[in-house]
Structure formats: C-alpha cells, structure tokens
Structure 1
Amino acid sequence: MREKHARKHKFISICAILIMVTLAASVFITPSSNGKVTINIGYQSITAQTWGALIIKQQQLFERKLKVRYPYIDFNIQWHDEVSGSVINNNMLAHKYQIGYMGDMPSIINLYNGYLHEEYNSRLLAIDGKGLGGKNQSILVSQDSGINDIHDLVGRTVSVPIASSTHKMLLDILSQNDLLDKVEIINQDIPTAYNMITTGKIQALAAWEPYPSYLMQNDQMIKLIDGEVTGNDYLAGIMIDDDWAKTNSEYTSIFLSSIKESHEFLRNYPDESVKIISQESGFPPEVIANVLKNIDWEMEMTSSNRDTLKKNYQFLYELGLLKDFPVEAYLNTVKEKN
C-alpha cells in the first residue's frame, strides 16, 4: 500500500487539492480516511516458533521505532492472532495483511502464491524461531492408551494437520520404522485431535509446541516419540507483501530492526519473555519456559535453513500441493548469516 503524508498547496485552479510530500527516506505515506497509517500483521500465538511476534507486539517495538522516525504520522498497527498459517496466507493474498508470521510449510506456500498470482508478490523477510534437529515436535498418546512404542501404532489412527512440518515429521518417523502403510493418518487441527483422543476415536496425534508440553503438563498425554529422531530442523518464516515492502522500504527496514530486537530480548531476558508470552498466548509460564529452551532465535538465512526450506518445498511438491517453481531464487531475499 503506497502511503503519502499530505499538506495543502495553493493552486491557480479552483479545485485545488493535490497532496504530495517527499519524505527524507523516499517513502510516501497515504493516510487512511481517519488520518492514520494502518499496517496489518498476522501471527500465531499457538505456535512457539513464531513467538517473536508476541515480543514485538507487547513491547510495541515496531510502533516505537516508527514514531521515532516519523513523529508526525499516526500509525495504527493491527495484530491479527490466527489459528494457522493458511489463514494468514489467504489474508496476505487478498492484500489484507502486509506481514505474516507462519511455519516453514506455509512460508513455502506463500512464496508459491507470489509466483503463481500476478496480483501478489511474496518475500521471505526473515526467520523467526527454529527447533534445531526436530525439537518442538512430537507424537503424543493418552496416558492410559497402552501404547508404549511406535510399533504399537500398527492398525491405529494418528491425527496431524496435513501439509505441516509436523506432518512431514510423522511420515519420516513412520518411514524410518517401516510403518507408512500400516498406520491410518487423518487431517485435523490439534485441539480437534485432542478431543478425538479423549473419546477414543483416534489413538495418537502429532503436534508442535507448545501443545505437547501443555497437554503433558497435567498427565493428560505422554510423549510417544520426539521429533528429534528425524534430525530435521523446524523453523518459522516472516513473510511480507513484496510490493508493499518495496513501496514502503523504510517501514520494512524498521520492522527488520524490530525482529532483531525481539530476538535479542528473547535471548537476553528469558524470564521477562516467559511472562510476556504467557500473557499474550494464554499458555502457562512453566510450559513456555520449557519450550523456549529448545528454540533458536536467529533471523538470518543459513545453509541449514536453506536446506530445510528446499526439503519442505520438495515435500509439498510430492504431496501435489504446488507445482514446480524456482524456490531457490525466492530464498535469496533473506540476509545471509556471515
């Protein structure tokens, strides 16, 4: 969205009103009808890898930096807490959100949307949280299920959100144990899957943090197997509408600075981070403290991150959810780690 800051000019013509002020940073501001510049950001408080957004939101890092740079502009930063990356993707595709926090699979789909649709261009702006080597994903069963080993799932039903990193983790684990054709997999969100387990309609669920830690807290569920056995990193991307970003390059730069500060805060102030995330997400502090130990906060691209995203693209391609596109070129937009 192109934005312009207005001031009146006198013209010879009777209808004279055209407003255009060139800002020092070459960013043009178009205030909305109420005189505010609105920026919409989608995020997921139920996904631990995207908790960097909660720090920016609660600490108002973005707003404060914008106000320092543009003290004469009234900014309205709208945060939208969504249940999944697909919801955020749909809103970005419709140009309702300019920025979105999401898991690595939805990030690839967002890039594909940018490749596929002429009216939408996508950019991977930065990485948020990362579970190294498969941390923060696992397969859970109920405490009284009698299931104690992955091979006990033969002939049973496991729920997982299809096309998620957790789906890939589940398939990798089943493949490692020669169980791919011996277990039924159904597509459900995690809260629905938990309800299905409690009624005995399914026997296991695959989930990402903070769900496993939360469900195990009161001995409701036990961890059957940890995602670490796959050795696959699990990360989150921060996506941006590339047309908006290019038109508002200074805003984009300021948001990148906010991401960096949020990661520094998470690393340097763990206790305060736990309080903020608990307040914003509703999950208990002890659950959050446990989960944060397993998340690496590094916004830059690494060879490992690149390999993870390329493997995820291949996974989605094999599922038939997207066609061939130059994913490598779309991964070159993130600053490389030195």
Structure 2
Amino acid sequence: MSKERLNLLTLQEAIDLLGVSRATIDRWRKEKQLPYIKIGKEIWVDPEQLHAWVHLHALGNGAERRSVRKAARKTVTVGYQSGAALLWSTLIIKQLGLFEQELEKTSPSADYEVRWTNASNGMELVEELIAGRVQIVSVGDYPIVAGRGLGQLLPRFRPLVLAFDGKTSGGGGISLVVPAGGRVRKPEELAEVAISTVGHSSASYRLGQYMGAFGFDSAPVVHRRMGDCLSGLMEGSAGAAVLWEPYLSWAQLLGAGSPIGSEGVGGDYLTGLMTDGNWADGNEDTVIAYLKAHLRAHAFIRRQPEQAAVLIHQASGFPVSVVSRVLPQIRWDASIYGRDLQTLSRVGGGQYGEPNGDGGAGGAPVFQKRYLQEAVEALRLPLLPDAPLPGEWSREHVY
C-alpha cells in the first residue's frame, strides 16, 4: 500500500514541514516521544498525530505558552579575531548575518540572540570558552593544541574542534620580519636583537622554531600585541618581529620590513573552530547552523573576493589593498586532512587523534566530524568521508 493512500509523511517531509534539522527530529523522537511509524527500515509520520503532538508541546495553556517562549530564547556568543587574516571568514558571517539566517532556517520559532566578542589573540578566546562566556571560537593551531592540555587539567572542559578555517602551506601566513634597511640580513644575526611577537600564540610557537633552528636562543623576546609588533618595526624599537597576516603583508606594503629567509622551518599554518563538547551536546542544531554559515562564508570569499575584501575592511579597519592582497594567499577549507592532523601533532609535540564522535580521553580535543558532515549534507555539497582526507590538499573540493 502506498504512503499516499496511508496519508503518511516521510521523515524528510516532516523535517521540512517543521523547519528543523535531522538532529532535532532524532532528539525529539527520543526525548519527547514524537510519534512515528517504522516499516522495515523506513520511518513514516502520521500528519494528524504530528499536528496533535505539536499542539501538545507548543500550544498548551497560557502558562505553558509563556514558558515555551521564555525557554526558546537563547544567547549564543561567538569569539573571533579581526586581526588574524586566516580567521576572517567569521567577519563575513557577521557582516552578512549568515549565522542568524541559518538559525532561522533551523529553528524558525526560536528566539536567538547572537553576540560577538573580538579578541586580540586566540588564548584569550580559549579562556572565555572555558569560562562559558563564549560558545564558539575561531583560533589558530597553537590555541587549538593548548586546549588539549587545558582539557586534561579541567575535567569539566571538553574541547572540541568542529572544522578548520583558513590554511596556509609551508610556513606561509606567519613569518619572521626584520626592519627595512636594518643591519640584520640572515637569521644567525638575530642573537642580540630584541624580537617581538604575541605571547602564547601560533606566532610565538613559530618563533621558538626559528630560534632553535638558527641558534639565536639567547635573543630577548618581547611579548606585545600584533599591532604593536608592526609599530615597533616602523619605529625602530624592535629588531625583528614574528607577524601573522595581514600584518605581514601590511609591513611589506608600507616598506616597514621584509621576511627573513627561513627555509626548512615552519610547516602549514592552520586555524579552526572550537567549542566545549558539553555545550555542543545540548545545542547540536546551533552548532550545525554555525557550520553551515562557516561553509557559506568560505564559498563567498572564494567566489566574490572583491566584495569580501570590502566587507572585511569595514569590519576590521584594514585597508582594502591589504585585504585584497592577503585573501588569495589563504586556502579557505573546513575539511580535515591527514596532513592537517600531522601539523597539529608537530605543534603539540605528540600524536593528535583522528576525527571521532566519542570525545577525547582526559579532555583531549577531538574533531566531532558528524556536525561538519551534517552541515555539508544540508548545503548539498559533496559528502565528506569519515576518515581524514588523504594526500595533498585537493584543488577540486574545498569546503
């Protein structure tokens, strides 16, 4: 007998009718006894029973309606870094309202308030994540790995990596820069020069690599904000600085400094999205909505770089000329490669786990790839495999 004669809805039809995600439907089936019929492997929904269930859960008496409205209002705070070019996709999300759009699609009856917190470095955002003041953060590879150690020390913090963001290869994106016209010509001459960078960051990690490889371990290191590092080069108060983009390109455009040779030092530079797995467990729809916005922002940057440069300029204050120079140098790709896990292993000084959905032992951050896969499927992009993508970064499929 056909489902039309039985007057039944497919599960997808029920999802479309309610305007929610598959994850929400599955949770409602388990927790709120959403009525359904299983015939073989197929799941069907009786529209009359569905209407009665919706009426029971959302259209009760006046006190219940007030309670539902109050419970539906949620605040989500996103932490970002406008001063880090590899994380500029967040600015596109914010400027275009992509997150709010996806939340509306996922839960049209809910009342969401999205807040944004701009930080000067990633470790500030990790601290905010631990404190529960932000729920999703965009950070570099060093803060991602540092989260693992903090998760091992703090049993209530379960760091979860959702997706990658901007990537650069072979030491690009962060470089050791010396003042233009200065006396330093090669790395070995930096031993007695004051070097500035942001402390406890992906830049300071690279500085440690440089110092060990070129033997200037005794050089004084000054921890400053990235903007102050650039100013120090321009004013002559710093003998060198480790700059990340866009400050690296800005220094070159201003004629304030140039990268010094670092062949053989520095692997890929990665950035990504983190959350607390404990929060994500109860907010799957919100996580998936943000990842959909994240993927849409990547596509926007790749397809409309000129418009993206203007939006980023408006949100960050960096000159359009600098932004336009930097954007094409970054690979905007949320997907997880084995190559990326190897980079995190180098940064963390040990083995970095493969993507899974079980949480890391001792609080180690893991990739909850299921969320990214659901976002990819919802946007009708080519499906991602369960395992990390092999080989080199693909030219054909970027997310």
> How far apart are 1:135 and its partner, in Å?
0.7
Classify the secondary structure of the residue corresponding to 1:93. Answer: helix
The letter of the residue matching 1:258 is A
Matches within 5 A, 1:150-299: 150-177=187-214, 179-219=215-255, 221-225=256-260, 229-299=264-334
Classify the secondary structure of the residue corresponding to 1:72. Answer: coil
Aligned length, in residue pairs: 310
1:201-256 C-alpha deviation (Å, 9 max, x unpaired): 4311111011111122222x121326665240011120012122110111111211
Q: Is this contact kept in 2: 1:137–1:227, CA < 8 A?
A: no
Classify the secondary structure of the residue corresponding to 1:254. Answer: helix
Distance in 2 of aligned mates of 1:138 and 1:226: 9
Give the 3 Å change call, closer, same or farther, for CA 327–197 of structure 1 in structure 2. Answer: farther
The letter of the residue matching 2:269 is Y
Q: Which is helix-richer, 1 or 2? A: 2
Give the 3 Å change call, closer, same or farther, for CA 106–327 of structure 1 in structure 2. Answer: farther
The letter of the residue matching 1:140 is V
Calculate the TM-score normalised by the size of structure 2: 0.70
| Match in the other structure for 1:319 | none
1:162-200 C-alpha deviation (Å, 9 max, x unpaired): 3322223223233333x2335332322223334444554
| Match in the other structure for 1:132 | 169
Distance in 1 of aligned mates of 2:138 and 2:182: 35
The letter of the residue matching 1:83 is S
Classify the secondary structure of the residue corresponding to 2:329. Answer: coil
The letter of the residue matching 1:99 is I
| Match in the other structure for 1:51 | 88
Q: Is this contact kept in 1: 2:142–2:205, CA < 8 A?
A: no
> How far apart are 1:289 and its partner, in Å?
1.4
Q: CA RMSD for the aligned pairs?
A: 2.9
1:63-106 C-alpha deviation (Å, 9 max, x unpaired): 11111222222221111111111221121111110100111111
| Match in the other structure for 2:336 | 301
Runs of 5+ unmatched residues, structure 1? 22-27, 316-324
Distance in 2 of aligned mates of 1:223 and 1:247: 48
| Greater Cα radius of gyration, structure 1 or 2 | 2
Distance in 2 of aligned mates of 1:306 and 1:327: 19
**Once the two structures are aligned, what percentage of the paired residues are identical?**
27
Classify the secondary structure of the residue corresponding to 2:199. Answer: coil
Classify the secondary structure of the residue corresponding to 2:271. Answer: strand
> How far apart are 1:117 and its partner, in Å?
1.5
Deviation larger for 79-88 or 168-177: 168-177
Matches within 5 A, 1:49-128: 49-128=86-165
Q: Is this contact kept in 2: 1:275–1:285, CA < 8 A?
A: yes
The letter of the residue matching 2:339 is S
